[in-house]
Homo-oligomer: A and B are copies of this chain.
Amino acid sequence: MALCNRDLTLRGKYKEIAKKTCHLHSGHDGRCEEFPYLSDFSINHPRVANKIKRDSTKTTGAAWSSEDAGPNRIDRWVMLQSDETLLNYGINMAGLKPGVIAKLREKSATYEDCMSVAVKLTWLAYQMPDAPACPESIKVYLEARIGTMRANSTTCIICRSPLSFSLFENAQRGKAEIETAHSSPREHNERNVGFAHRECNIAQGNKTLDQFYDWILGISNRIGKEKI
């Protein structure tokens, strides 16, 4: 699917190092839009739309309220810039603790990857068991971008149990029961993201999904042997 890709007007602090383009199909009618596929959620499920935008594009930060936590909820692509460039924008990386720097840099991703993550998450949200029906025009768009949609098919990428849309929607910021998760924690792109239960995400920790499964299989084997 070819996208319009026209540059949209940038606002805010980082406009000179950021990017924002139209994600409608090329040759579309009407105004350009960055998140056209979120039009239904934006009106009828604004929390869901906001969470998808936030998780796709921002470094996380619910627990980052202390003084030395570093910049909070910053665009992921800003974190691709050098320490020197960031200093021009008031972010003094040299003044942060090594662990904080590592976390921030780990969350970095290109604008394009963030945008594809937003599409993927929207595609997954509409396939949650109790999700609202997906308007036809949005379905056509999402299927062209990601693939065929099957109702009730979205499961936790970690424990593989179904995920409830209402549980997802009712989440409070910083207390979400369902979170955006990564098969490999350090790659923020369409192939690598999905949704997961908060407790599954915590259990996975810094492991890749493959490492996590190897780990639990090892435990299962050791427990099994003890029981025999």
Contacts and interface: CB of A to CB of B under 8 A. Distances in A.
A215 B199 CA distance: 11
Question: Interface size for chain A: under 10, 10 to 19, 20 to 34, or 35 or more residues?
Answer: 20 to 34
A228 interface: no
Interface of A (DSSP majority class): helix
A222 interface: yes
Looking at A158, A202, A220, the one whose CB has the most chain B CB atoms below 10 A away is: A220
Interface of A: 66, 158-161, 199, 202-203, 205-206, 213, 215-220, 222-223, 226
Nearest to A222: B160
A220 B220 contact: yes
B202 A160 contact: no
Contacts of A158: 219
19 contacts: A66-B66, A159-B222, A160-B219, A160-B222, A160-B223, A160-B226, A161-B218, A161-B222, A199-B205, A202-B202, A202-B203, A202-B205, A203-B205, A213-B219, A213-B220, A216-B219, A216-B220, A217-B220, A220-B220
| For the complex of A and B, 10 pairs with smallest distance between CB atoms | A203-B203, A216-B216, A160-B222, A159-B219, A220-B220, A199-B205, A213-B223, A217-B220, A216-B219, A216-B220
Contacts of A215: 159
Contacts of A161: 218, 222
